[in-house]
A and B are shown apart, each in its own frame.
Chain A
Amino acid sequence: MTRTTDEIAAAVAADIPPGAFVNLGIGQPTTVAEHLPAGSGVVLHTENGMLGMGPAAYGDQVDPDLTNAGKLPVTQLPGASYFHHADSFAMMRGGHLDVCVLGAFQVSTSGDLANWHTDAPQSIPAVGGAMDLAIGAKQVFVMMSLFTNDGTPKLVPACTYPLTGIGCVNRVYTDLATFDIGPDGLTVRDTFGTTVDELRKRLGIPMHRAALPST
């Protein structure tokens, strides 16, 4: 069976070390928070200026002065702190964040990331913090579907969309497999409803098989 988006998020959460400082990108990566075990000690960073971000706010909890990077109302946890934008991005760029989780249009086999702009006519470029996150965190995890709706691979020899960062992605979680990107190239950690040989054929790129058993 292939993995659902929820199962991908759970897999990412399971790989985040206890006590890590983590930034979850806007959209699907935000749902990783729901799968972090209670007592993990993971501290969430939101680039608009907060560490110790809590879950989404509802009803009486909603405070227009307390939002996440997606501008949605959130809550604060004990031990939270607030800081201005230059500090927020200094802690990112300065390598203080352990993990960031991002979505992607494309990832290349050398870890290049394209996730901010499609270059389509009439589209308006908007980058936000994507480029800062891509090069800042110690480890960059991407979660995405492995193919577009029309079957085009999103894990590619070289990105065709405009780049967000070069050689910055460490791991890619998809519906069909998890891949590590390292100096030796691409390694398949696990597969779901497919095989490594089938992935080689469909993606047309070289990849190693991890020593771990496939599920």
Chain B
Amino acid sequence: MVLVCETPDDTVADVADGSTILVGGFGMAGMPVDLIDALIRQGAGDLTVVSNNAGNGDTGLAALLAKGRVRKMICSFPRQSDSWVFDGLYRSGRIELEVVPQGNLAERIRAAGAGIGAFFTPTGAGTPLADGKETRDIDGRTYVLEYPIKGDVALVGAYRADRAGNLVYRKTARNFGPVMATAATTVVAQVTEIVEAGLIDPENVVTPGIYVDRVVVP
């Protein structure tokens, strides 16, 4: 049953030190900035953060990194023109980095949400990102064994929720949201509005409410 929270702070009050946090968004599109700000105020540290990028500018994920709360980043593309916060931490050895090809990142999260124990993917075969990983030749092609990435908490930015916890997204801000929403123990969605159950056409629901634990309009 989804809990409609009053404030972003209510949604993350119980996040523990050492948690793995899945953070939606591709750049700033779909980035749940208000939930991250609440997590900064809440104070949990020693976090592992899973997100496509490693923060842009000085807000959102970059602000969490700047506070020194993140021990490890798992992402596909940390280095960007405005990723100076991460760049500084990485170059001074104050943060761990696991680089994962973008499709493998999405699929590893999807696998966690779908109860898949591991999967073989052709992406990355023969490259440094497959070093030390188990491989198998199937039908003449080499595949790499990849394991799921499960979160303790997922923070996603969606467009609209209903009181049953169903979510819809907007344009390319959808990106990692629907996948991450399946793959964490506690799933929090930041939305622009929460409507009565029935006001989102069931044919159009992208994330069914079964996956969603808490929603908030910041």
Contact = CB atoms under 8 A, between A and B. Distances in A.
A138 to B, nearest CB: 14
Contacts of B173: 64-65
A84 B29 contact: no
7 contacts: A47-B103, A65-B170, A76-B171, A123-B79, A125-B97, A131-B123, A131-B127
A165 B126 contact: yes
Nearest to B173: A65
> Looking at B76, B86, B106, B107, which has the most chain A CB atoms within 10 Å of its CB?
B106
Given A46-B172, A65-B173, A93-B123, A127 B76 contact: yes
A85 B80 CA distance: 20
> Looking at A47, A64, A88, A130, which has the most chain B CB atoms within 10 Å of its CB?
A64
Nearest to A133: B103
Nearest to B177: A84
Interface of B: 26-30, 52, 76-80, 86-87, 90-91, 97, 99-107, 109-110, 121-129, 142, 169-179, 206
A72 to B, nearest CB: 9
B102 A85 contact: yes
Contacts of B27: 67, 71
Given A66-B172, A71-B29, A162-B127, A129 B103 contact: yes
Given A65-B30, A65-B171, A130 B101 contact: yes
B179 A86 contact: yes
Contacts of A47: 102-103
A179 to B, nearest CB: 21
A48 B99 contact: no
A50 interface: yes
Given A92-B103, A129-B101, A85 B170 contact: no
A34 B183 CA distance: 39
Contacts of B110: 86
Nearest to A66: B171
A212 B106 CA distance: 43
B75 to A, nearest CB: 8
B208 to A, nearest CB: 13
Given A48-B175, A66-B172, A124-B86, 4 more contacts: A84-B175, A85-B176, A123-B79, A136-B123
Contacts of A127: 76-77, 99-102, 129
A124 B90 contact: yes
A82 B102 contact: no
Interface string A69-91: 00100001000001111101110
